[in-house]
Structure 1
């Protein structure tokens, strides 16, 4: 994503916050603190994540400063954040603008916290990475291991109860609803978690267990228990999950249509 695009998006987010001050004066301090007091999305995210995860006001400032440094040194973090934010606005009818998604989507917030933790782990700063994971679990009820690998354009819809294990992989343009587990079977070590390819949609409460592949453009129905690989561009449902048809869209994560054509 070119820098002029990120600048344009930031200007749009700030304009929405400016308008929000007049539309809802009771939230004026929130709009100022969360958006208008910052020069870019990286700084705004660093402050918001620091405040959310801190154990008290004294810890919030140092955490926000540490996270802001990570964003300055790793510009791709901000690019991914914009792509995730746009994914929410595009796919989730509950959020009709950037401001609402930025302020109120805890799935978005947890995902950006994960991205910081993942970067820290790459820098061999394991303790702070694990702190981020633990506090996201406590504060947001979303548990993403910082060692997992997650692409861009991701929507964690609602977010509550999502668990993504250490060796899991999630491709680009994936939508994951609440209560989803990308976990191990409990009997394995090493590479033991699912590999979810691009464009996949995973319905609420689905459990995908073991080092198995969910093929590109596949759809996993709500409440399904998936123990075996899922072919690309197929729909599976049930316990145990079975193929019941094909998605109507080549990337079902993008249209969020949870119905399917049989056959």
Structure 2
């Protein structure tokens, strides 16, 4: 299977995610017959993305305590009640195609990228949370954490067009809000600063880039299109369009590039503005 064209995300956005995903599955089934049954079960036997997605989530999360068919029924109910969940999944797939140079086709994130899969399960868990079905929402969270090593509280609010690159070790707390078009790498924490209750987690603006190992703690705002450098510990609000780095984090470049989450540029400017935020 050859590397994807840089225009994969554009093509998917213009022609639709589902046709692109089906085409990739058909090609893969021809090229690798050993995976024919898997590709038929997960993609080719379904009529649309919602059906395939509910099957995929159920295939992953189903276990002895909650049967696969029961998980799928919950997902189908969520998608029917809130079509925005599937629309967000489409934008997530386009985001991966746009921002991950390792991707070949949309089949990769759909079948194999745990960041994408955890996001979709988290969206269903959040829907359950909103329906006051907290015990089942926590069950989804627990299974996600076991399977993917990604811990997203079902109360957290997630935007669309998100990219969790690698994903391992990401923690997102109950009252966290993540805006649209955000990218974050492994070991990012959106957490609290203690045992306080209530609204205690970060609010991440649109188009923010959170580098590997970044820790954003407390009920603080990271402004739109900001960038948090890898390994930073952010304890105070971050201005929109600025880059912060260090422990504790300081503003080191402001303004930064226009859309850091799309370029995935983790480098820092040579000339910095070093002052405490």
| Equivalent residue, structure 2, for 1:210 | 218
Q: How does 1:18-97 map to 2 (within 5 A)?
A: 18-56=26-64, 59-97=67-105
* 1:185-209, Cα deviation, whole Å (9 max, x unpaired): 1142211000100010000011111
Q: Does 1:142 align with 2:150?
A: yes
Greater Cα shift, 243-252 or 162-171: 243-252
Displacement of 1:12 in angstroms is 1.7
Displacement of 1:73 in angstroms is 2.6
Unaligned ranges ≥5, structure 1: none
- Kept in 1: contact 2:241–2:256 (CA 8 A): no
- Kept in 2: contact 1:47–1:68 (CA 8 A): no
Greater Cα shift, 69-78 or 49-58: 49-58
Distance across 1 between alignment mates of 2:232 and 2:152? 20
TM-score, with structure 1 as normaliser: 0.94
RMSD: 1.6
Distance across 2 between alignment mates of 1:221 and 1:107? 20
Displacement of 1:147 in angstroms is 0.7
Distance across 1 between alignment mates of 2:80 and 2:52? 12
- Kept in 1: contact 2:54–2:75 (CA 8 A): yes
Distance across 2 between alignment mates of 1:188 and 1:56? 35
**Equivalenced residues, count:** 259
Displacement of 1:248 in angstroms is 4.6
Distance across 1 between alignment mates of 2:99 and 2:202? 24
- Kept in 2: contact 1:248–1:260 (CA 8 A): no
Aligned mate of 2:239, from 209, 228, 231: 231
Distance across 2 between alignment mates of 1:247 and 1:27? 48
Q: Does 1:122 align with 2:130?
A: yes
The alignment partner of 2:190 has SS state of strand
Unaligned ranges ≥5, structure 2: 1-12, 273-277
| Equivalent residue, structure 2, for 1:198 | 206
Displacement of 1:121 in angstroms is 1.2
- Kept in 1: contact 2:95–2:161 (CA 8 A): yes
| Equivalent residue, structure 1, for 2:169 | 161
- Kept in 2: contact 1:246–1:260 (CA 8 A): no
Displacement of 1:72 in angstroms is 2.3
Displacement of 1:8 in angstroms is 3.2
- In structure 2, relative to structure 1, the CA distance for the partners of 1:31 and 1:57 (3 Å cut) is farther
